[in-house]
Structure 1
Amino acid sequence: MRLRRTTFALAAAATLSLGTTLPAHADRTVRFTLDELNQSGSHATATLTSRDDGSLHVKITGSGFTPKSPHAQHIHGSTSGHMFTCPPASADKNGDGQVSTEEGLPQYGDVFVSLTTKGDTSKASGLAVDRMPVADADGNLSYERTIAASALPAGTLDNLQHLHIVQHGLDANGNGKYDAAALGESVFARSLGVKGIPEEATNPATCGEVAAMGGVETGTGSTAGVEHAGLLALGGIALLGGATAFLARRRIRVEA
């Protein structure tokens, strides 16, 4: 079911007529699935909650990831109103059957927030693979962190409808590790001056979207939900789940 903009406008008007005031960023929660990309076999569920203190709580749980390996993940998007989405299969320009990081970037946009496990979360940490979550021996991945308002780019919470998440790292040849045997060396890593990084380590593994801008949509392939009584009055929230680019600042331990 799609709640259209007119519904949001009416709800907002009704709330204002009652004299109700809400914090600039009242607690709002969106939940959505991150579906596999590149036949990675990976799937995840993401929950993002904007707090009334301006912080953003992020929780991600998933399975089917390359075991005992780091998986870079970022929020991507725009505060200028540009609509970014998950990359379609047609984004594979070289015909190798994989949408690489560099092929996906035009679709999902630049890094907005680096979802590191500790320390800096800015775009500068997009390559900090040593601070990205690591899947366990069974390929399960769990991540939870609250990012302070001061660490968020300007306009993040006001533009959640333009943002999305993507996770990276896949095991294309099924041998349980990142190596160059299946896809060769990462073109993206090499373009940044780092050699010897397998393409498997940098290609996007999952991506998800909640709904189109202006409404909350459910039952469209991605599981989406919104929890907050004041959400309609605030005009709605729609988060586009997306893709990421990552490269280790220090060499990833791999076996060729």
Structure 2
Amino acid sequence: MKKSAFLVAPVLALGAFALSTSPAVAADNATMYQANLAAINGSNASGTVMVTVNGDQATVTEKVSGLAAMFNGNPYPHVQHIHIGAKGMCPDMSADTNKDGVISTTEGAPAYGGIGATLSTSGDTSPAAGTDLKVAGMGASYTYNRTFTLDAKTADSLKAGTAVVVVHGLDPATLPEAAQKAPSDLVPSLPLAATSPALCGSLKAMPAGAPGTGITTPAPAGPDLGLIAAGGGLVLAAGGAYALRRKMAA
């Protein structure tokens, strides 16, 4: 079953995992992947994204800002995806093979691959929904949180370290004049700016105990160290009571 909750602050999802049982594995055997989203094509945007995988369920938590704000008088629709099957990298300007000053989606594909999952706000999350503007992220800044079923190919790409999150949609005014008038390489009825990459980040597994993740690694056996640390006073009190009982028994 697919569930969505658009415009929910990602910190809620990030704080849900306090312990892990092995590197990059959190509570309930969920594996966590993270990427810093960097500007591409001069978008000046930024963002962060976390993907938590538990079985075949993936929860994606994302926050972005600085994107193009408006499109034809409405909030700009930013289609976004987990790309898979290539080098697991974000392209640089050498990928601009036609030298129009813009890395188009297809020009960037050798670096980040094709669509594995569409980060849509509702409905379909398959590649088929990849250019559906109605379920895209909207506006210059937004947060995104959604849980959906992850297909095997995308799951394998995450494990292999070759999954990349790409957010599309540029401000046409920031592009060279020739590129402003060019059609999209994906949807010719749209301008090139509408589908070209604006943010990109390679997803990597989060190691246990990594700074800022809130994840710690408990001992292989024995009591929960996190709970002991949180309730140190109770532990000491219990120890004193046990010693007293032994003394009385003696």
Query: TM-score band, normalised by the shorter chain?
Result: 0.5 to 0.7
User: Which residue does 2:37 correspond to in 1?
Assistant: 34
Q: 2:190 aligns with which of 173, 188, 197?
A: 197
Percent pairwise identity: 33
**Any stretches of 5+ residues in structure 2 without a counterpart?**
1-21, 70-74, 219-250
Classify the secondary structure of the residue corresponding to 1:173.
Answer: helix
Aligned partners of 1:227 and 1:28: how far apart in 2?
11
Q: Of the two, which has the highest radius of gyration?
A: 2
User: Which residue does 2:185 correspond to in 1?
Assistant: 188
**Any stretches of 5+ residues in structure 1 without a counterpart?**
1-14, 16-21, 217-222, 231-256
Q: Give the counterpart letter for 1:96 in structure 2.
A: D
C-alpha offsets along residues 179-206 of structure 1, whole Å, 9 cap, x if unaligned?
A: x9862132413xxxx5441111011000
Classify the secondary structure of the residue corresponding to 1:201.
Answer: helix
Instruction: Tell whether 2:207 aligns with 1:209.
Output: no
User: Which residue does 1:154 correspond to in 2?
Assistant: 152
Aligned partners of 2:97 and 2:153: how far apart in 1?
33
Matches within 5 A, 1:79-118: 83-118=87-122
Distance apart, 1:28 and its partner CA = 2.3
Distance apart, 1:62 and its partner CA = 0.8
Q: Give the counterpart letter for 1:145 in structure 2.
A: R
TM-score, length basis structure 1 = 0.63
- Taking a change above 3 Å as real, the CA distance of residues 162 and 226 of structure 1, as seen in their structure-2 partners, is farther
CA RMSD of aligned residues (A): 3.4
Greater helix fraction, Structure 1 or Structure 2: 2
C-alpha offsets along residues 83-117 of structure 1, whole Å, 9 cap, x if unaligned?
A: 33111210011222211112111221111001111
Greater strand fraction, Structure 1 or Structure 2: 2
- Taking a change above 3 Å as real, the CA distance of residues 118 and 96 of structure 1, as seen in their structure-2 partners, is same
Q: Give the counterpart letter for 2:180 in structure 1.
A: L
Aligned partners of 2:111 and 2:156: how far apart in 1?
21
Q: Do 1:169 and 1:203's aligned partners in 2 also have CA atoms closer than 8 Å?
A: yes
- Taking a change above 3 Å as real, the CA distance of residues 103 and 224 of structure 1, as seen in their structure-2 partners, is farther
TM-score, length basis structure 2 = 0.64
Q: Give the counterpart letter for 2:49 in structure 1.
A: A
User: Which residue does 2:138 correspond to in 1?
Assistant: 134
Aligned partners of 1:57 and 1:229: how far apart in 2?
22
Aligned partners of 2:51 and 2:123: how far apart in 1?
19
Classify the secondary structure of the residue corresponding to 2:89.
Answer: coil
C-alpha offsets along residues 164-184 of structure 1, whole Å, 9 cap, x if unaligned?
A: 10000011415xxx9x98621
Q: Do 2:88 and 2:202's aligned partners in 1 also have CA atoms closer than 8 Å?
A: no
Aligned partners of 2:103 and 2:151: how far apart in 1?
27
Q: Give the counterpart letter for 2:185 in structure 1.
A: F
Classify the secondary structure of the residue corresponding to 2:77.
Answer: coil
User: Which residue does 2:165 correspond to in 1?
Assistant: 165
